[in-house]
Chains A and B, each alone.
Chain A
Amino acid sequence: MSSAAVRRGTLALTVAMMLAPAMAAAATKTDAEAAIAAARKAEAAAGVLQNQWLPTEAALKMAAKALAAGKYDAAVATAKRAHALAELSIQQAREQDKLWHNEVVR
């Protein structure tokens, strides 16, 4: 992944984490379900690129658990983290699609 992309990703992650608690205070079941669905969609896209990350999967599981336990604020926050991680992995796959040539022994 390029350093610019990593920086962009870090920013996205930070913003997501900052926003999450503020929004979570009022999160409903519908909010939580929507956030999880959106994160799952991004993770499925990473799967098509054969580039899913373990922390994304872990966050998705945690979000689903929080939803089941009725902790909607936590579910939204964790789903947003999963979503941000999934986006990073997609970005990594897209960039590596070209950059891998640079690592070839020649």
Chain B
Amino acid sequence: MFHSRLRAAALLAGMLGAMVLAQAPARAAPAPNPEADRLAFQAYFRKNYPAVKNSDWGNGPYALNAGMRKQWEAIMQFPPYEFALAAGEKEFNRKFANGRSYADCFPNKGIGIRQNYPYFDTKTGEVVTLGIAINRCRVANGEKPLGYKKGLLAAIETYMAHTSRGKPFDIKVPNDPRALAAYEAGKKFFYSRRGQLNFSCASCHVQKAGHRLRGDILAPALGIMAAFPIYRSKWGEMGTIQWRFVGCNKQVRSVPFKPQSKIYRDLEYFLSYMSNGVPITGPGARP
């Protein structure tokens, strides 16, 4: 079983997972084609989980497991992200010392735009996540940058996601070699086996989506960014996508990267693009 495999000796886990691969010769690298990738990716999930509605992919494990869904519906009567939502809204509307505010930094004054992040900034040549955009706004207005895992930044994101609920992901990969390279780097990271346990993100969130791992049901990779930020009972607070990446790297015994490092931004870019068309459900709540 998957559960015991993860707990078994690390090398054994590696061998089990890799035997199939060892026989297949590596495929040649095709030219990047994000839209073809996205269509194949979504077709895979829709074919394997035909009962899941489009609006439900952003509900992570709850989309695939009726038992967990019941618990979740009970929790959502008093959503645990309410405090962060209120704090985030207050901060969002606060005036900086120079009289400006967050609204001045974003399209549509920052309301209902979460589905457009991350985007590729053709000026700087890099991926800009919502977290990066929030800190850029602060720094440009003389405020200190915030930490990227939790706290006030997660609260602001909570508010911004909340104003965007129901809006489908609409990520763009411009036809710019730098944007395509960032997309490919994220894609490669997602599919590469890592850590002493030799798992890729796809090993768990594609090949084993909906299966149980310890107490958890594995969320499907389609829509996996849509609920963030999330209140996670295990964290006891709101956390960002980037914090979750750190945790998922560590559990395969891989040294994690810094939140908002280039590779994590590229990863978020790839995963968000794969979810184009799936509506934002965040802020979310998880066990």
Q: Determine whether the beta carbon of B202 is less than 8 Å from that of A2.
A: no
Q: Determine whether the beta carbon of A102 is less than 8 Å from that of B24.
A: yes
Known A6-B15, A6-B18, A100-B188; judge A92-B198 contact (CB<8 A): yes
Q: Determine whether the beta carbon of A50 is less than 8 Å from that of B263.
A: yes
Q: Determine whether the beta carbon of B192 is less than 8 Å from that of A100.
A: yes
Mark B257-284 against chain A: 1 for CB-CB distance below 8 A, else 0. Answer: 1000001000000000000000000000
In the complex, chain A residues whose CB is within 8 Å of the CB of B203:
103
Q: Which of A2, A50, A54 contacts B250 (CB 8 A)?
A: A54
B11 adjacent to chain A (CB < 8 Å) = yes
In the complex, chain B residues whose CB is within 8 Å of the CB of A102:
21, 24, 26-27
- A104 nearest CB across to chain B (Å): 6
A55 adjacent to chain B (CB < 8 Å) = yes
In the complex, chain B residues whose CB is within 8 Å of the CB of A25:
none
A51 adjacent to chain B (CB < 8 Å) = yes
Main secondary structure of the interface of A (DSSP, over half): helix
Q: Determine whether the beta carbon of B191 is less than 8 Å from that of A100.
A: yes
Q: Which of B18, B40, B195 contacts A2 (CB 8 A)?
A: B18
Interface of chain B residues 169 through 214 with chain A (CB within 8 A): 187-188, 191-196, 198, 200, 202-203, 206
Q: Determine whether the beta carbon of B255 is less than 8 Å from that of A104.
A: no
Q: How large is the interface on A (under 10, 10 to 19, 20 to 34, 35 or more residues)?
A: 20 to 34
In the complex, chain A residues whose CB is within 8 Å of the CB of B223:
none
Q: How large is the interface on B (under 10, 10 to 19, 20 to 34, 35 or more residues)?
A: 35 or more
In the complex, chain A residues whose CB is within 8 Å of the CB of B191:
100-101, 103-104
Closest chain A residue, CB of each to CB of B274? A105
In the complex, chain A residues whose CB is within 8 Å of the CB of B193:
1, 92, 96, 99-100, 103
In the complex, chain A residues whose CB is within 8 Å of the CB of B192:
96, 100
Q: Determine whether the beta carbon of B21 is less than 8 Å from that of A6.
A: no
Interface of chain B residues 42 through 100 with chain A (CB within 8 A): 44
Closest chain B residue, CB of each to CB of A89? B196
Closest chain B residue, CB of each to CB of A98? B26
Q: Determine whether the beta carbon of B196 is less than 8 Å from that of A54.
A: yes
Q: Which of A2, A7, A85 contacts B196 (CB 8 A)?
A: A85
Q: Determine whether the beta carbon of A3 is less than 8 Å from that of B18.
A: yes
Known A10-B11, A51-B254; judge A2-B21 contact (CB<8 A): yes
In the complex, chain B residues whose CB is within 8 Å of the CB of A96:
192-194
Most buried by B among A2, A51, A101: A101
- A82 nearest CB across to chain B (Å): 12
How many angstroms between the C-alpha atoms of A80 and B160 in the bound complex? 50
Q: Determine whether the beta carbon of A105 is less than 8 Å from that of B21.
A: no
- A63 nearest CB across to chain B (Å): 17
Q: Determine whether the beta carbon of B196 is less than 8 Å from that of A53.
A: yes
How many angstroms between the C-alpha atoms of A85 and B19 in the bound complex? 20
How many angstroms between the C-alpha atoms of A98 and B29 in the bound complex? 8
Q: Determine whether the beta carbon of A105 is less than 8 Å from that of B44.
A: yes
- A72 nearest CB across to chain B (Å): 27
B243 adjacent to chain A (CB < 8 Å) = no
How many angstroms between the C-alpha atoms of A7 and B11 in the bound complex? 9
A52 adjacent to chain B (CB < 8 Å) = yes
Q: What 9 A-B pairs have minimum CB-CB distances, sorted nearest first?
A: A98-B26, A52-B255, A2-B22, A101-B27, A96-B192, A100-B192, A103-B191, A100-B191, A54-B253
Can you list 27 A-B contacts (CB < 8 A)? A2-B22, A3-B19, A4-B22, A6-B11, A6-B14, A6-B18, A6-B198, A7-B15, A9-B11, A51-B254, A54-B253, A55-B196, A85-B196, A88-B196, A92-B193, A92-B198, A96-B192, A96-B193, A99-B21, A99-B26, A99-B193, A100-B188, A100-B193, A101-B28, A103-B203, A104-B191, A105-B37
